[in-house]
């Protein structure tokens, strides 16, 4: 379940990236809604994988890494943490 949550975060990032490219705007409420309504109802392991992957993505981005969600090996990253 943990890995499934991490992969779900990668899919969410891909969809968000496509939306930003198309519409040129980002709505933080989308992340909140996705977590509250989709992730929040799933088992703790799934939620942990999703949130750990989100944390890894934010950390790497803040460190200056240019990450493309579709090429990012999210499972390798969360296994190292």
Whole-prediction pTM: 0.80
Separation between Cα atoms, residue 50 and residue 39, nearest integer Å: 8
pLDDT of residue 74: 92
38 vs 15 pLDDT, higher one: 15
Q: 59 vs 25, which has greater pLDDT?
A: 59
Opening angle at CA 50, ends 45 and 53, nearest 5 = 120
pLDDT in tens, 19-47: 877 888 777 787 788 788 878 888 999 99
């Amino acid at each position: 379940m943990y890995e499934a949550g991490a992969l779900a975060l990668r899919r969410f990032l891909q969809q968000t990236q496509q939306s930003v490219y198309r519409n040129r705007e980002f709505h933080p409420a989308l992340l909140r809604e996705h977590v509250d309504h989709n992730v929040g109802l799933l088992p703790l392991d799934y939620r942990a994988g999703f949130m750990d992957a989100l944390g890894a993505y934010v950390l790497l981005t803040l460190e200056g890494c240019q990450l493309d969600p579709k090429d990012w090996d999210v499972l390798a990253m969360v296994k190292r943490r």
